[in-house]
Structure 1
């Protein structure tokens, strides 16, 4: 019996003897109500402490004896057919190594989108139960889609923390309601209020890997300034440092680490040496890559030998129909993406090595999930130099992207690859991320490694699994019950099924037998080996959707049709009708109804029906030091007129630097001083810049600089229009000009609004990069931002 357990047992017995009926031995703790209640404090009659025998105090809750460490690695936006461990063309040696000594799951599913998958993974309930029907930025006012996880859905991290685990999260979060990301909070749905003792990463859906927006717990921090900085390396350093320190101080206390990379979500940022490892390897094109991948998958036995290669979507051209320029551009896009994934797997390998170095790998339940959904096709048919063009309904052209080939993946781009590669990296399936009604969107490779808990029959596991199964799996492995209440709130029962039954029995009968899927109108139901689905929209379709009532459903028997290629709807209409009715029943049960197929439109809070922190305010007063304001917590200036009034004190010799800015290198606007003169720059998606500058310096002393932007649109339906710009100093007009077009829907997922500096990449590149170079050298008393709607 371990020494730690022995000490706890003896202390428990002594305490029980001294205070009567109250027992705190580990085997008597009630872990179904968290936090675990402290025993009553004893009362004494003696005056002198020397006449009383001390009773052992109840200092802390210990995890169950032999409870393992737990690490969940979640890679972003890579599909089933990408990693080499599942037959893909991209080398993932760490995943390969863990697979050889662990379990390989080829029938594991996600929700087809990032926020919903992450929420379901960490709470064990369906994504609509957790109010996460889509990403945070497209939440609505309907139950199941509000973006606010309820207190009745406690996360796994909180369950483990209250049971004696140290808990840390590193990397991508994307589970906090968009309007709750300001300095005013509330912080209830930030990582450190969702069960994690430590968080180091980014709050939103993506970040620039070279210039990330990072939070350390609740505090925004500046990334280390070192040559060649990359966020995936940085977050791994922090994860290893936290884990080693925790184990050094409390070696008998298990840890739970959630390691969720921003990779390989766009922007596809990776050092050139990683991308160049794949030089020429994708010149053959996506059709040949698909053929070679499915052949490897069969030879590796990660898919059945009779699996057919599902057809590409009709909108994806055959490789041999493309031009030489398209071949050259698209091949480089795939090289960068592949290098990004291999670099990421290498960083996971550093984490594995660090755990092994301290002797904890055998006692660590290590869950490596290769994708929170299928590979992303959001790059459209030619890819994107700047992913934000997708969110503004702007289509980029091959001729515009070709000159950027040598810079692809570096700091000068914010790129996404063409959709043909997403289909290839989701082999053997047809579809991709966002398509919850196809396994290309939902089936992701997973490897589980745990030498102390998995000791026989290593290899393939083909039982149906889903991300909601991870939390109950961890609880069972740790010897913990599902809690009935957490922090005083009765809990909605966990809806997943523990996968522990598969660990030492590859032939165990499947236990997760029914699962619904829904994302932006794409919907399906799995039940006892059957799969019914409807393909409502492609990932590159965002407007003019067909009526939901007109959708046609397909039927597949997935036990004999791994890749969904034999539609049995006409042969078995009764089974199809049965499953359609089951979908409606499950959708109602888990708050997936009503279905909302709006995509880009839901980015607008007024359309979506979710809160805005500023509500209907049209004026905002800002002060120096207010920087790092995410777009959803700042005044919406898009598609409307704005006036910026800056009250300044100009030093002798003139002022330099930013007064007020929003966005960055790939889209935004900035009012600043250059050589003592006020300047306004509007950066349209990094594709065009419009600049209006004064000719004369602002004299030293108190000054009021005013920027007026008069929007061209006459109605609220006229979006993305340009406008006239006027700059005034102390009541006198000093410059006029034009902005010919504006971004209608979003500036950035991670760049911020800042007073007195430009926090990450610069809107106005003539100031330089970084907080120091863009810092305003005078004094900002206050800045007032006023907006006015058209009409």
Structure 2
């Protein structure tokens, strides 16, 4: 049996005496409500009562909670489920607890993470899409409404230390700004501490870090052994040590969210070497191999069918999600794709090793037995590497194809700082076996069926057992509330709260593996894909995410009996039309209740580049000044698909070097800088070599200058890129010119911002080394104009637009 805990009946920092005391007409009584001491004229004759002023303590016996959440990992990847990825820490936790075989997510990261914080559906939370995909509709706002309270706030207000490490992705992109609104940042949502990154992904070698409410530089560099997974484990242990030094009896809730296994896939060389040759049989063979292993371990029923890797006809499928059959690949492609799988596996195992250090610390300090540990993933394996894989995942979000020739140049550098890697769709399908598709497909298990292991030695008797009950990410918060003996408040901050959508899974701790589930219904939708589960039946719309086709009313719907057909291989729509109609009607009913509509299946580059309101209205000219914190892309000047110019007033010496202006990284970005007394402008188009370099044909002698560049748009390329002519200026003189292309989509999802006087994180150009600090000179400021007008008098224009308003 689980240890008994005391149910807390109050949520805010208010004593029960205060909460229950009847009001009186005596104003002095109102002022002293809840105070049980004695107040006289002289303090010597008075009796203190600290109770009303002290924060609440956690319920007696309440466990610590450690929630480890990976990204982009299907069931078929990890060793406890039969996969080929060695996860010793996870194996040990599974042996000490329970393996869930029928747990589900939303099919995408931001939405799932929102449900794990609130226990409501992702549309109710405003997260129908990722944080970068906000729209002006209730389900798409990417801001938690006032009617939802996070589990962190509940625990924090009831005596828990709340500690968050790693990925966030629940802060709107426009709020990831040095001087912006911080209401959605972790510390404003119930977390005592935060150390990690706010965006959907970050470079594991050069992360864009935030500590609490401030942007910070990484503590040391890759050449000194830095990797984000190691750093997060170091910080987690430090946070726990600091808590124990002052508050050893206070339980903690720690959310540990590594960058793994999301792109970029990056890991130390020695860990990649451990997997050399482990995937040489290819992804088609892996699906067969792992499905058999999953059956042997009881993860899936014996009658489960291994579904086709390309479930949809070509005319209905998104070509970026197509899986190229292994036997059609040439030797170079097989070599490249296998190496990419080795890197991904190493990334996962290395991170599991770092998590093991945190678990070891809990054991060393006698905290392990009463720590509820949840180890899970937030959606199916990612297919965003397209059929050919990518050395720069950002190509996917710019709808730009990869080529074998480009990728093969980097085969020996995969996983290191020179690549922003993502493996091909074939491996996404393999690591999501035996189900259809992968991440983003919410109508099929390949997008939503995820690994989940729960260990709690003091509270769960079972060891190494399976649990087959159907559950969802919305069910985690109700589970935590039950095991801590706490309640979600009916009112918070003066606002009545939405009811929880999820149900507690705590009954499964003591249940038999096949005991009936207490879940009754679960709705799904992502990028226009739709599904609904009810009492073992599942209806699924045949729709392609990020396909840009619309026509939702024309979608065919399929019907599956999930009790008998775990992988959705046998469509029963024709056999049971009444059941299908019942579920379709229920889907629409649930959609209206949960803010699901409108549906949006547009291409990623379209969704990401939608104009969105910011605290500062869009303008023709943006001014930036030296040595401020990086300005994130979501609130910086937008130069995508348009003519623009960059102007800087500077004073140089014969020793001046460094970055004047930089935005993005080596995997997509542009920079204006001085090197060897010459002015350079580099536009790094999606990291594709060679860089587009414009070098001045004159040297800069000591003095004051207006330096700049101008790009004039002339047309569009085959993949949406903007084509045009660039001119480099020193005062009014053109010192270099030539043709140039610019990206249609974002420079990065990592959070690298616009900088003046240095380059944050990873250098845009190989011609200088980060941070490329501007030295032995002065930058008055930089202005970026998107008016599209030609230069008149450069010096006068620079003075005009740099003038503070």
Query: Which deviates more, 434-443 or 319-328?
Result: 319-328
Matched, 1:722 2:716: no
Instruction: Provide the C-alpha distance between the structure 2 equivalents of 1:494 and 1:196, rounded to a whole number of angstroms.
Output: 20
After TM superposition, the structure 1 = structure 2 runs for residues 591-610 of structure 1, keeping only pairs within 5 Å, are 591-606=595-610, 610=612
Q: Which residue of structure 2 lines up, in the alignment, with residue 441 of structure 1?
A: 447
Matched, 1:466 2:469: no
After TM superposition, the structure 1 = structure 2 runs for residues 481-496 of structure 1, keeping only pairs within 5 Å, are 481-496=487-502
Q: Which residue of structure 1 lines up, in the alignment, with residue 649 of structure 2?
A: 647
Which of the numbers 244, 248, 252 marks the counterpart of 1:247?
A: 244
Matched, 1:738 2:738: yes
Q: Which residue of structure 2 lines up, in the alignment, with residue 204 of structure 1?
A: 199
CA displacement at 1:304 relative to structure 2: 1.3
Residues 238/39 of structure 1: CA separation in 2 closer, same or farther (3 Å cut): farther
Query: What whole-Å deviation, never above 9, does each CA across 1:70-95 have from its counterpart, x for those lacking one?
Result: 11110011111100111111111111
Q: Which residue of structure 2 lines up, in the alignment, with residue 48 of structure 1?
A: 42
Instruction: Provide the C-alpha distance between the structure 2 equivalents of 1:517 and 1:408, rounded to a whole number of angstroms.
Output: 35
Instruction: Provide the C-alpha distance between the structure 1 equivalents of 2:600 and 2:97, rounded to a whole number of angstroms.
Output: 40
Query: Which deviates more, 126-135 or 42-51?
Result: 42-51
Query: What whole-Å deviation, never above 9, does each CA across 1:479-517 have from its counterpart, x for those lacking one?
Result: 101211223322111111011111111254311110000
Q: Secondary structure at the match of 1:325?
A: helix
Query: What whole-Å deviation, never above 9, does each CA across 1:318-368 have from its counterpart, x for those lacking one?
Result: 212221111111111111111111111111211111111111111111111
Q: Which residue of structure 2 lines up, in the alignment, with residue 90 of structure 1?
A: 85
CA displacement at 1:682 relative to structure 2: 0.8
CA displacement at 1:240 relative to structure 2: 1.1
Q: Which residue of structure 2 lines up, in the alignment, with residue 135 of structure 1?
A: 130
Q: Which residue of structure 1 lines up, in the alignment, with residue 168 of structure 2?
A: 173
Query: What whole-Å deviation, never above 9, does each CA across 1:529-586 have from its counterpart, x for those lacking one?
Result: 0000013115xxx444251121111100001111111111111111011111111111
Instruction: Provide the C-alpha distance between the structure 1 equivalents of 2:564 and 2:781, rounded to a whole number of angstroms.
Output: 67
Instruction: Provide the C-alpha distance between the structure 2 equivalents of 1:187 and 1:497, rounded to a whole number of angstroms.
Output: 31
Matched, 1:669 2:670: yes
Contact 1:640 1:713 in 2 (8 A): no
Contact 1:384 1:418 in 2 (8 A): yes
Query: Which deviates more, 37-46 or 428-437?
Result: 37-46
Contact 2:178 2:629 in 1 (8 A): no
Contact 2:726 2:740 in 1 (8 A): no
Residues 56/742 of structure 1: CA separation in 2 closer, same or farther (3 Å cut): closer
CA displacement at 1:101 relative to structure 2: 1.2
Q: Secondary structure at the match of 2:340?
A: helix
For the aligned residues, what is the CA RMSD?
A: 2.4
Residues 390/461 of structure 1: CA separation in 2 closer, same or farther (3 Å cut): same
CA displacement at 1:281 relative to structure 2: 1.2
Instruction: Provide the C-alpha distance between the structure 1 equivalents of 2:548 and 2:20, rounded to a whole number of angstroms.
Output: 62
After TM superposition, the structure 1 = structure 2 runs for residues 520-531 of structure 1, keeping only pairs within 5 Å, are 520-531=527-538
Q: Secondary structure at the match of 2:83?
A: coil
Matched, 1:321 2:320: no
Task: Name the TM-score, length of structure 1 as normaliser.
Answer: 0.92
Q: Secondary structure at the match of 2:524?
A: strand
Instruction: Provide the C-alpha distance between the structure 2 equivalents of 1:113 and 1:775, rounded to a whole number of angstroms.
Output: 40
Structure 2 unaligned blocks of 5 or more: 9-14, 22-30, 312-321, 791-805
Instruction: Provide the C-alpha distance between the structure 1 equivalents of 2:164 and 2:79, rounded to a whole number of angstroms.
Output: 26
Query: Which deviates more, 618-627 or 212-221?
Result: 618-627
Matched, 1:684 2:662: no
Instruction: Provide the C-alpha distance between the structure 1 equivalents of 2:253 and 2:433, rounded to a whole number of angstroms.
Output: 32
CA displacement at 1:253 relative to structure 2: 0.7
Residues 614/60 of structure 1: CA separation in 2 closer, same or farther (3 Å cut): closer
Q: Secondary structure at the match of 2:645?
A: strand
CA displacement at 1:726 relative to structure 2: 2.2
Which of the numbers 675, 690, 706 marks the counterpart of 2:708?
A: 706
Instruction: Provide the C-alpha distance between the structure 1 equivalents of 2:33 and 2:767, rounded to a whole number of angstroms.
Output: 65
After TM superposition, the structure 1 = structure 2 runs for residues 185-204 of structure 1, keeping only pairs within 5 Å, are 185-204=180-199
Task: Name the TM-score, length of structure 2 as normaliser.
Answer: 0.90
CA displacement at 1:122 relative to structure 2: 0.9
Instruction: Provide the C-alpha distance between the structure 1 equivalents of 2:19 and 2:121, rounded to a whole number of angstroms.
Output: 37
Q: Which residue of structure 2 lines up, in the alignment, with residue 775 of structure 1?
A: 774
Contact 1:136 1:174 in 2 (8 A): yes
Instruction: Provide the C-alpha distance between the structure 2 equivalents of 1:143 and 1:47, rounded to a whole number of angstroms.
Output: 56
Query: What whole-Å deviation, never above 9, does each CA across 1:111-147 have from its counterpart, x for those lacking one?
Result: 0000000001111000000000010111111110111
Query: Which deviates more, 373-382 or 89-98?
Result: 89-98
Query: Which deviates more, 297-306 or 311-320?
Result: 311-320
Structure 1 unaligned blocks of 5 or more: 9-14, 26-36
Instruction: Provide the C-alpha distance between the structure 1 equivalents of 2:284 and 2:728, rounded to a whole number of angstroms.
Output: 55
Query: What whole-Å deviation, never above 9, does each CA across 1:277-332 have from its counterpart, x for those lacking one?
Result: 11111110111111111111111112112211112115323212221111111111
Q: Secondary structure at the match of 1:117?
A: helix
Q: Secondary structure at the match of 2:357?
A: helix
After TM superposition, the structure 1 = structure 2 runs for residues 10-25 of structure 1, keeping only pairs within 5 Å, are none
Instruction: Provide the C-alpha distance between the structure 2 equivalents of 1:543 and 1:473, rounded to a whole number of angstroms.
Output: 36
Q: Which residue of structure 2 lines up, in the alignment, with residue 626 of structure 1?
A: 628
Matched, 1:566 2:570: yes
CA displacement at 1:271 relative to structure 2: 0.6
Matched, 1:115 2:119: no
Instruction: Provide the C-alpha distance between the structure 1 equivalents of 2:179 and 2:505, rounded to a whole number of angstroms.
Output: 40
Q: Secondary structure at the match of 2:99?
A: strand
Q: Secondary structure at the match of 1:647?
A: strand
Q: Secondary structure at the match of 1:238?
A: helix
Contact 1:659 1:776 in 2 (8 A): no
Residues 45/476 of structure 1: CA separation in 2 closer, same or farther (3 Å cut): closer
Q: Secondary structure at the match of 1:713?
A: strand
Contact 1:501 1:508 in 2 (8 A): no
Instruction: Provide the C-alpha distance between the structure 2 equivalents of 1:39 and 1:265, rounded to a whole number of angstroms.
Output: 52
Q: Secondary structure at the match of 1:432?
A: coil
Contact 1:768 1:774 in 2 (8 A): no
Residues 760/649 of structure 1: CA separation in 2 closer, same or farther (3 Å cut): same
Which of the numbers 431, 444, 450 marks the counterpart of 2:456?
A: 450
CA displacement at 1:46 relative to structure 2: 2.6
Matched, 1:272 2:269: yes
Instruction: Provide the C-alpha distance between the structure 1 equivalents of 2:563 and 2:156, rounded to a whole number of angstroms.
Output: 39
Contact 1:77 1:265 in 2 (8 A): yes
Instruction: Provide the C-alpha distance between the structure 2 equivalents of 1:458 and 1:718, rounded to a whole number of angstroms.
Output: 51
